[in-house]
């Protein structure tokens, strides 16, 4: 049996004062039509990264509205995660040679995970598979009911992929009943996706990472980590990998510091067991910081968890997300929800979150530095930007909207 994750409990009623009434009522109607539907989410890890964060809210909310929903982790070990990290990068355009050995590793762990699903004897109406790691599950699960509907959710940008990896995965992905992408521009070129569905991700406004936090409490938390909350600081929250460009963030900070010498930089990243590249890039980032006492690097293994991230985001004078490639960028929505002024790369799903007035989009390190400097020197402009961004997220990127969109797809696939 695959390992199950306990995501805790949540109630849709707690979101009633946050989301529009018509959205709340639509969810209730869909839930009544889907009452008792059996749904299993499968991904490779229960911590680190946006997919796990989403599932910790989405799974209990699906249960709360009447679905029989669970979350399982596929089998994996270091050789498998090394291969799938390469897949992840390659699907975003990185160079990579897919070898026979890598294919064998990838297929074996998918085969073992599929066998565990079949051997459990459980039946599901919806199998909801997330990202490339478990993408072959459907191919290897002939023992499940033919009535089961399969969904593959791609959380990354595959618009300019490594063709060798794409051509290998495409036949398996096309076999799913539905393929979910964040936006149409993310879909791979020249690949027919018969069940293509566009559903952007969302954040949970009531999670420890995003719930309202008193300013005094936020300052108390940040001060414990050595950051001087009486001085301005720029913040980036992301995994440590080349696509998030923490080295470029440091370079931009150094330009800003020439005009705003009191500024500090905080970089926070989560380490996930399915990301073996993370520590390598952590060390590169530390080396690039060069011992600067105003640069702070934290991660979830140095006691910086959800509440701490919340505190730093709530206090940041500027939140930066200088991604080179991006799936959606949940941290962008998190920053906007907290009313923080934002500087972000013009890539992936970031522009759809940053509408006119809700943030500054940039393409280069000098542009990022100039935008940060402008926000630090013009507090009124920064405040108005943050206020606009918060309302945009309220309308479009909170979890109840994601729940509604998923339930709509379930109802369509199950014909209810």
pLDDT: which is higher, 274 or 53: 53
| Alpha-carbon torsion angle 85, 90, 95, 100, nearest 10 | 70
Tell me what pLDDT residue 142 has. 82
- Is residue 177 a contact partner of residue 149, using CB atoms and an 8 Å limit? yes
Nearest to 180 by CA among 154, 202, 201: 154
From the centroid of its chain, how far is CA 115? Answer: 28
Tell me what pLDDT residue 44 has. 94
Q: Which tens digits make up the pLDDT trace of 136-162? A: 999 999 878 899 999 999 998 899 999
Q: Which tens digits make up the pLDDT trace of 290-331? A: 999 999 999 877 789 899 999 999 999 999 999 998 878 889
Nearest to 272 by CA among 43, 42, 49, 44: 49
Tell me what pLDDT residue 274 has. 58
Q: How confident is the model at residue 273 (pLDDT cuts 50, 70, 90)?
A: low
CA distance 287 to 281: 10
pLDDT of 91 over the 80 cut: yes
**45: left (phi > 0), else alpha (psi -120 to 50), else beta?**
beta
pLDDT of 6 over the 70 cut: yes
Tell me what pLDDT residue 327 has. 77
pLDDT of 227 over the 80 cut: yes
- Is residue 70 a contact partner of residue 40, using CB atoms and an 8 Å limit? yes
Tell me what pLDDT residue 272 has. 64
Least confident of 68-77, 204-213, 271-280, 406-415: 271-280
Tell me which residue has tokens 């026979």: 100
CA distance 141 to 115: 7
Q: Residue 39: enclosing H or E segment and its boundaries?
A: strand 38-43
- Is residue 168 a contact partner of residue 103, using CB atoms and an 8 Å limit? yes
- Is residue 263 a contact partner of residue 233, using CB atoms and an 8 Å limit? yes
User: How much is the CA Rg of the chain, to the nearest whole Å?
Assistant: 21
CA distance 352 to 396: 10
The Cα-based distances of 180 to 45, 176, 200, 201, 294 in angstroms read 19, 10, 9, 10, 42
Q: At residue 230, what are phi and psi to the nearest 5 degrees?
A: -85, -10
Tell me what pLDDT residue 336 has. 95
Tell me what pLDDT residue 77 has. 93
pLDDT of 64 over the 90 cut: yes
DSSP state letters, 271-310: --TT-THHHHHHHHHHHHHTT-TTEEEEEGGGT--HHHHH
Q: What is the DSSP letter of 108?
A: H
Q: How confident is the model at residue 3 (pLDDT cuts 50, 70, 90)?
A: very high
- Enumerate residues 6+ apart whose C-beta is below 8 A from 237: 268, 269, 309, 312, 313, 319, 331, 334, 335
> On the CB side of 196, how many CA atoms lie within 13 Å of its CA?
13
Nearest to 50 by CA among 356, 402, 292, 339: 402
What is the model's pTM?
0.88
Q: How confident is the model at residue 84 (pLDDT cuts 50, 70, 90)?
A: very high
Nearest to 56 by CA among 270, 348, 315, 293: 270
Domains recognised in the chain with CATH numbers: 3-202+398-414 (3.40.50.2000), 215-396 (3.40.50.2000)
Burial of 227 (0-12, 13-18, 19+ CB in 10 A): buried
């Amino acid at each position: 049996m695959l390992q199950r994750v306990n995501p805790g409990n949540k109630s849709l009623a707690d979101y009633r004062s946050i989301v529009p009434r018509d959205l709340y009522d639509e969810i209730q109607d869909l839930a009544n039509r889907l009452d008792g539907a059996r749904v299993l989410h499968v991904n490779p890890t229960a911590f680190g990264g946006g997919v796990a964060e989403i599932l910790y809210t989405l799974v209990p909310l699906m249960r709360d509205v009447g679905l029989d929903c669970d979350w399982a982790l596929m089998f994996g070990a270091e050789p498998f995660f090394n291969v799938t990290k390469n897949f992840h990068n390659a699907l975003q355009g990185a160079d990579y040679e897919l070898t026979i050995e890598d294919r064998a590793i990838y297929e074996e762990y998918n085969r073992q995970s599929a066998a565990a699903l079949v051997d459990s004897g459980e039946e599901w109406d919806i199998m909801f598979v997330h990202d490339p790691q478990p993408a072959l599950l459907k191919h290897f699960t002939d023992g499940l009911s033919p009535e089961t509907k399969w969904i593959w959710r791609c959380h990354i940008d595959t618009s300019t992929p490594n063709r060798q990896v794409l051509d290998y995965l495409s036949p398996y992905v096309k076999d799913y009943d539905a393929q979910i992408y964040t936006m149409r521009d993310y879909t791979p070129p020249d690949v027919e996706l018969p069940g293509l569905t566009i559903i952007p991700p969302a954040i949970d406004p009531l999670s420890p990472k995003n719930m309202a936090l008193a300013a005094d409490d936020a300052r108390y938390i940040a001060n414990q980590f050595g950051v001087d909350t009486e001085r301005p600081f720029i913040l980036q929250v992301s995994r440590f990998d080349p696509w998030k460009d923490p080295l470029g963030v440091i370079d931009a900070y150094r330009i800003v510091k020439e005009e705003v010498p009191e500024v500090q930089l905080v970089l926070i990243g989560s380490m996930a067991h399915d990301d073996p590249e993370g520590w390598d890039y952590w060390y590169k980032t530390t080396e690039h910081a060069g011992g600067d006492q105003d640069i702070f690097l934290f991660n979830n293994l140095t006691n910086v968890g959800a509440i701490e991230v919340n505190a730093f985001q709530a206090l940041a004078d500027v939140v930066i997300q200088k991604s080179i490639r991006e799936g959606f960028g949940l941290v962008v929505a998190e920053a906007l929800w907290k009313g923080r002024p934002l500087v972000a790369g013009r890539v992936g799903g970031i522009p759809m979150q940053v509408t006119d007035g809700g943030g500054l989009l940039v393409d280069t390190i000098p542009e990022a530095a100039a935008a940060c400097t402008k926000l630090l020197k013009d507090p009124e402009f920064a405040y108005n930007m943050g206020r606009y961004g918060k309302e945009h997220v309220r309308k479009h990127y909170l979890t109840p909207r994601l729940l509604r969109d998923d339930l709509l797809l379930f109802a369509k696939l199950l014909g209810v």
